[in-house]
Structure 1
């Protein structure tokens, strides 16, 4: 049986891992990640020009390439940086360039590169706390092995898959513990309460939503783990089931002498790993409790230090206020046994630099202008007033005013009964007077002088104005 090292380097070359060790390793990985994510939308293949564009975008974000003296595969320095990156990845075996007769350069991502990229993404991924789902599936399947029919239907690939799921669940548990310990170390370096609380509630609580032990109890995993171990023990004692597993093993790996030992080794490893689930979860809870204890101690320390400093400052100001009330601030150095102030020119801040609330000016009575006006100025004023009045008086305004009165068709109302209180109401009445002859008006207007020309004119006071009495009727 070949060792891992010899088997691995028979599949890839040393340059394959050299990509991850140079000064440009982050750029190479970002380029590979971007290319791999774009591959499915292009039929798992990509033209050289398309790959150049993607690498160019990565370089625009990451910066220029650093010189690598031991990189003969990157191409000439006069080549574009994107071309240098692609040539290095092709030479290292991460990307395969297909040779075509039509001179088109088509790129494929090597399977080994895809496998390693998935592993690297898993390292930096923050999506944890799904270990109970994997372990629950394994426990349910292995617990069923206590019954002979389930042992007879167990294939070798499913047994190997159970081992892989248990390993993944334990790996996630250990990753949680490592991240909790990392948070604990960061907590010791915080300088303010806000920073310490942000680590607890902003980052830590988003990662650890529940204690691992509580998650185990909620899923009834302690009982399921014992049932799974009992099922494995029953499988190990069932020779008929082991022979079926051996026959299934030989379908994929025709090595008779190592079939049964591999099956027994897998069963034994499953038993050991399942037995390690609860202790590992307890270690995670211990790390979580340690993080909580350190966080509490750090916050208390920051509070104590801050409170002590505030108290010291308060003592100094109380002393100054009680005994040195008539001493200027620049002269305090002679009276107090304190270090020299670091202010270059100590003094009180003037009110000129302080923000002041805006105050509205008081309303005053309008006074006429005493300056004499020329005829041109009077004419301009009258034209401006005429323009303003023309803009303020409109037919739609008059119609809306009549609608607000709530009159029925044919119902009249006198001007003395009109609700006029504000300047807007006066403009409504003026609009009615101006646009009464218009075809689009919804009212008729008559004055008393038209109906009774021999009688004196009656005026109605409306606001600050006197209006000749008239009557409005809804059409």
Structure 2
């Protein structure tokens, strides 16, 4: 079936025009109201909602071929007529026996609005629910009586689970790109605390990683699928035939094996999905830490850099016996104006002896292999400077024999703060000599300010004194 045999021709047009933000806001608000009402909405309620939105916004503009419309209520009537038109087709307008008009949402619009709501609100997924729903569909007593419906439900929940995990991975990739594009440490920390932690490393995914739902239900799900394939194929095929008498048996049988194979493969390979998400989460942590380190060092060195630039310019002007204006006109890509002020210095300048001629230095481009070698050595130096062993020594030295310390006790300068970031990054490493103290509260650890550095005052415990680290604990979670 072709998409536009079901979806009207101009269905997506309202989200591509100059008023797309207004239409998107209206659609989501109408959908929210629709969810609170059985079956349909009164037309007057929809008109009132649209009018309220338009009165708050002044950026609605007539599109090509449309006339200027007066007040907000007139525009609201125009918008509703457009959304209910056959070629746009988001809503239907119905009239009841009491001559009241009602608004209903079309099937394509309902599916689209559900997706748009998830995207706009970045709704978190209860991943464990998909696993439990699959198990319940296949292994409940009712499943033995309606195996066809049970298989369809299990197939649907398994697809939802995998799609949600893929979406989670893609969202992490998006946060990686966003993190490395931040231009200030404050922006990066806000991104991490207020968005990444809440939208990605939330309680739902944490429970999927740490609970026994997958290990508990996976064997039963796979065993039930194998049992149905070996013993109940004909019975299930017959149930499908009773539901759709026109579909050939060969097609039904093929669809049956496709569903059972999909479910079995998905649960056998579920650990691969989780490992991939872990890999991207670690990549995000590494990227954000490097960007934060770079931004902090850049802020620290800005004044020093400006001084070095001015010192270099002054040296060049003196060496080449040029005026500052002449030098800057050739050295800088932008035009600067020179301002002079009267002072108490005498106007007469004594003659200076001729300066010794010094040949101009020329920069020589390094070969590509030499550049690669320098880059390799630089990366090795960074790895050696902030290895797990170095961070372990840093923690043990700061702990001074104690079993537990707070993050605020570790930071005295920028180098300590950078090592604290790496300490947080390595706390799941098998060679780490410490763990982050587990706390069942979601945002345990108060935020503290130590000099120019702000961070969560997490508790670090020498390994072996407190169990394994909590998944959602750490400097930035």
TM-score by length of 2: 0.56
1:118 equivalenced with 2:132 (yes/no): no
Q: How far is the alpha carbon of 1:132 from its aligned partner?
A: 2.4
Q: Does 1:193 align with 2:189?
A: no
Separation of aligned partners in 1, 2:199 and 2:35: 31
The answer to whether the 8 Å contact 1:213/1:282 transfers is no
SS state of the match for residue 254, structure 2? Answer: helix
In the TM superposition, 1:23-422 aligns within 5 A as 23-39=18-34, 44-69=39-64, 77=69, 80-91=74-85, 92-99=88-95, 104-139=100-135, 142=138, 144=139, 152-209=144-201, 215-222=208-215, 224-238=217-231, 241-254=232-245, 255-257=247-249, 258-311=251-304
Contact 1:93 1:110 in 2 (8 A): yes
Q: Distance between the aligned counterparts of 2:297 and 2:143, measured in 1?
A: 64
> Is the partner of 2:181 in helix, strand or coil?
coil
CA distance in 2, matches of 1:208, 1:49: 40
Rounded to whole Å, the distance in 2 between the matches of 1:61 and 1:201 is 31
Instruction: Give the gaps of 5 or more residues in structure 2.
Output: 311-323, 342-477
2:127, 2:208 within 8 Å by CA — same for their partners in 1?
Answer: no
Secondary structure in structure 2 of the residue aligned to 1:16: coil
CA distance, structure 2, for counterparts of residue 260 and residue 316 of structure 1: 76
Distance 1:68 1:230 in 2: 59
Q: Normalising by structure 1, what TM-score?
A: 0.56
CA-to-aligned-CA distance 1:208-266 (integer Å, 9 cap, x gap): 3369688335325246434432332222111xx22222232233322242322222221
1:15 is paired with a residue whose SS is: coil
Greater Cα radius of gyration, structure 1 or 2: 1
Q: CA deviation at 1:108?
A: 2.7
TM-fit CA distance, 1:40: 6.0
Q: Give the drift of 1:59.
A: 1.6
Q: Could you list the per-position Cα deviations for residues 297-351 of structure 1 after superposition, in whole angstroms to 9, with x for gaps in the alignment?
A: 112212322333344578999xxxxxxxxxxxxxxx9xxx9x9x999899xxxxx
Range with bigger deviation, 304-313 or 78-87: 304-313
1:150-203 per-residue CA deviation (whole Å, 9 max, x = no partner) reads 974452122111111111111221222122111111111222222222222232
Q: Sort the Cα spacing of 1:181 and 1:61 in 2 relative to 1 into closer, same or farther, 3 A.
A: farther
Residue pair 1:129, 1:208 contacting (<8 A) in 2 also: no
Task: Compare 211-220 and 244-253 and name the one that shifted more.
Answer: 211-220
Paired residues of 1:139 and 1:228 also in contact (CA < 8 A)? yes
Match of 1:14?
A: 9
Q: What per-residue deviation string (whole Å, max 9, x for no partner) do you get for residues 82-136 of structure 1? A: 1210111111222222246776543333343223211221233323252122123
CA–CA distance in 2 between the matches of 1:307 and 1:27? 43
The separation in 1 between residues aligned to 2:206 and 2:83, in whole angstroms, is 45
**Secondary structure at the counterpart of residue 65 of structure 1:** coil
User: 1:34 offset after TM fit, Å?
Assistant: 2.5
1:285 Cα deviation from its structure 2 partner: 0.8
Q: Secondary structure at the match of 2:12?
A: helix
Paired residues, number:
316
In the aligned structure 2, how far is the partner of 1:289 from the partner of 1:81?
50
Q: Go from structure 1 to structure 2 and tell me whether the alpha carbon gap of 1:217 and 1:46 turns closer, same or farther (over 3 Å shift).
A: closer
* CA shift for structure 1 position 67: 3.0
**Is the 2:28–2:117 Cα contact (8 Å) retained in structure 1?**
no
Alpha-carbon distance in 2 for matches of 1:229, 1:141: 13
Partner of 1:442: none
131-140 or 82-91: bigger deviation: 131-140
Q: Tell me if structure 1 keeps the 8 A contact 2:135–2:217.
A: yes
Instruction: Indicate conservation of the 8 Å contact 1:129/1:172, yes or no.
Output: yes
Q: Distance in 2 between matches of 1:201 and 1:103?
A: 53
Q: CA RMSD in A?
A: 3.9
Q: CA deviation at 1:139?
A: 4.2
Displacement over 6 Å in runs of 4+ = 313-317, 341-346
Tell me the distance in 1 between the aligned counterparts of 2:137 and 2:95.
48
Question: In the aligned structure 2, how far is the partner of 1:31 from the partner of 1:224?
Answer: 42
Q: Measured at CA, do residues 69 and 302 of structure 1 come closer, stay the same or move farther in structure 2, by a change above 3 Å?
A: closer
Q: Distance in 2 between matches of 1:56 and 1:194?
A: 39
Give me the whole-angstrom Cα distance separating, in 1, the residues matched to 2:194 and 2:338. 38
Change over 3 Å in CA distance of 1:44–1:61 after alignment to 2: farther
